[in-house]
Structure 1
Amino acid sequence: MTTRNKRSDTKFLMQGSILAMASIISRIVGLIYRVPLTATIGKTGNDYYGTAYEIYNIILLISSYSIPLAVSKLVSARMAKGHVKDANKVLHGALLFAFITGGSASLIVFFGAEFFTGSLLKTPLSAIALKVLAPTLLVVAILGVFRGFFQGLGTMIPSAISQIGEQIVNAIVSVVAANILFSYGKKVGGVLGNVKGYAAAYGAAGGTLGTSTGAAFALIFVMFIYFAFKKVFKKMMQKDKHRNSEGYNEIMSALILTIIPVLLSTTVYNISSIIDQGIFKNFALYQGHDANAISESWGVFTGQYKVLINVPLAIASAMAASTVPSLTAAFHSNDDALVKKQINMANRFVMVIAFPCCVGMMVLASPIMQLLFNDTEKSSGLMLMIGGCSIIFYSLSTLSNGILQGLDKMTIPVKNALIALVAHVAFLFLLMEVFDLHIYAVIIANAFYALLMCFLNQSAVLKYSGARIDIKKVFLAPLEASALMGVIVYLVYRLLYGLVSLNASSNVANFVACVVSIIAGVIVYFVSMLLFKGVDEETLMKFPGGTKLCSIAYSLHLLR
Structure 2
Amino acid sequence: MMSEKNGLVKNASFLMMATLISRVIGLLYRSPLGVVLGTVGLGYYGYANNVYVILLLISAYSIPMAVSKVVSERLALKQYRNAQKVFHGALLYAMIVGGVAALVAFFFGNYLLPVNQQQALLALRMLAPTIFFSAILGVMRGYFQAHSTMMPTSISQILEQIANAIVSILAAWLLIKKFAVDEETHAIYGAAGGAMGTGAGVLTGLAFMLIVYAANRKSIHKKIARDKHTQEESMVGVMKIIFLMVTPIIFNTFVYNASSYLDSKIFSDILNMKGIAAKVVSGQWGEYSNYYITLINIPLALSSATSSAMMPEIATRFIKNEYKEANEKINEGIQLTMFLCIPAAVGLAVLAFPITKVLFPSSGTLSGQLLLAGSITVIFSALSTITNGVLQAIGKARIPLRNSAISLVLNVITVAVCSFAAPQMGVFSVLIASLILAVAMCVLNAMSLKKYLGHKNDFVNGYGKPLAAAAGMGVVAWIVYYGLHLLVPIRIVCLGVSVILAALVYLILYVIVTKTTVEQMRRFPMGNYVVKVLRILKVFR
Can you give the 5+ residue segments of structure 2 that lack an aligned partner in the other structure? none
Contact conserved, 1:276 with 1:442, CA < 8 A, in 2?
A: yes
1:86-105 equivalent positions in 2, closer than 5 A: 86-105=82-101
Q: Distance in 1 between matches of 2:50 and 2:524?
A: 34
The answer as to whether partners of 2:116 and 2:272 remain within 8 angstroms in 1 is no
- Aligned equivalent of 1:225: 212
- Match status 1:19 vs 2:6: no
> For the Cα contact (< 8 Å) 1:178–1:207, is it kept in 2?
yes
User: Quick one: which of 248, 261, 264 aligns to 1:277?
Assistant: 264
Match of 1:504 in 2: none
2:514 aligns with 533
Given candidates 513, 519, 544, the residue that maps to 2:500 is: 519
Alignment of 1:281-292 (within 5 A): 281-292=268-279
Amino acid at match of 1:492: V
Q: Distance in 2 between matches of 1:339 and 1:87?
A: 23
What is the deviation of 1:376?
6.0
Assess, with a 3 A threshold, how the Cα gap between structure 1 residues 376 and 238 changes in structure 2: closer, same or farther.
Answer: closer
Asked if the contact 1:473–1:535 (Cα under 8 Å) also holds between the matched residues in 2, the reply is no
- What displacement does 1:128 show? 0.9
Deviation at 1:163, TM superposition (A): 0.7
Q: Which amino acid aligns with 1:204?
A: A
Structure 2 counterpart of 1:413, from 396, 400, 418: 400
Asked if 2 retains the 8 angstrom alpha-carbon contact of 1:369 and 1:375, the reply is no
Distance, in Å, in 2 between the alignment partners of 1:541 and 1:21 is: 14
Residue-pair matches, total: 540
SS in 2 for 1:179: helix
Q: Please point out which of 487, 490, 496 is paired with 2:475.
A: 487
Q: Secondary structure, in 3 states, of the residue corresponding to 1:271?
A: helix
C-alpha contact (below 8 Å) 1:184/1:202 kept by paired residues: no
Residue 555 (structure 1) shift: 4.3
After TM superposition, list the pairs within 5 Å mapping 1:196-235 onto structure 2: 196-235=183-222
Query: Aligned pair 1:449/2:437, yes or no?
Result: yes
Q: Is the 8 A contact 1:478 1:534 kept in 2?
A: no
Question: Structure 1, residues 30-49: CA drift from partner, whole Å, max 9, x if none?
Answer: 00111100011011011111
* Unpaired stretches in structure 1, ≥5 consecutive residues: 502-508
Matched, 1:53 2:49: yes
* 121, 140, 147: which one aligns with 1:146: 140
Give 1:147 deviation, angstroms: 0.7
Cross-structure match for 1:132: 126
Q: Is the 8 A contact 1:184 1:199 kept in 2?
A: no
In structure 2, what residue type is equivalent to 1:431? C
Counterpart for residue 364 of structure 2 = 377
Tell me the amino acid that sits aligned with residue 390 of structure 1.
Answer: T
**Superposition deviation, residue 481 in structure 1:** 0.9
Query: Is the 8 Å Cα contact of residues 121 and 277 (structure 1) preserved in structure 2?
Result: no
Q: Quote the Cα distance in structure 2 between the aligned partners of 1:128 and 1:428.
A: 27
Pair 1:513–1:140, CA change in 2 (3 A): same
For 1:326 and 1:407, locate their aligned partners in 2 and report how far apart those are by CA, in whole Å.
10
SS of match in other structure, 1:134: helix
Amino acid at match of 1:446: S
Q: Which residue of 1 aligns with 2:39?
A: 43
Q: 1:541 offset after TM fit, Å?
A: 1.8
Distance 2:449 2:537 in 1: 38
Deviation at 1:342, TM superposition (A): 0.5
Does the residue aligned with 2:514 lie in a helix, a strand or coil? Answer: coil
How far 1:264 sits from its partner (Å)? Answer: 1.4
Q: CA deviation at 1:534?
A: 6.2
Q: Residue 287 of structure 2 contacts residue 366 of structure 2 at CA under 8 Å; is this kept in 1? A: no
**Equivalent of residue 553 in structure 1, options 534, 537, 541:** 534
* Of 30-39 and 432-441, the range deviating more from structure 2: 432-441
Q: Residue type matched to 1:355 in 2?
A: I
* Amino acid across the alignment from 2:371: L
Question: Residue 280 and residue 247 in structure 1: after superposition, are their counterparts in 2 closer, same or farther (change >3 A)?
Answer: same
- Tell me how far apart the structure 2 counterparts of residues 185 and 281 of structure 1 sit (CA, whole Å): 27
- 2:6 alignment partner in structure 1: 10
Aligned to 1:242: 229
When the two structures are superposed, what TM-score results if normalisation uses the length of structure 1?
Answer: 0.94
Asked whether the 8 Å contact 1:312–1:391 carries over to 2, the reply is yes
- CA RMSD in angstroms comes to 1.6
Could you tell me the TM-score, scaled by structure 2's length?
Answer: 0.97
Identity of aligned residues (%): 38
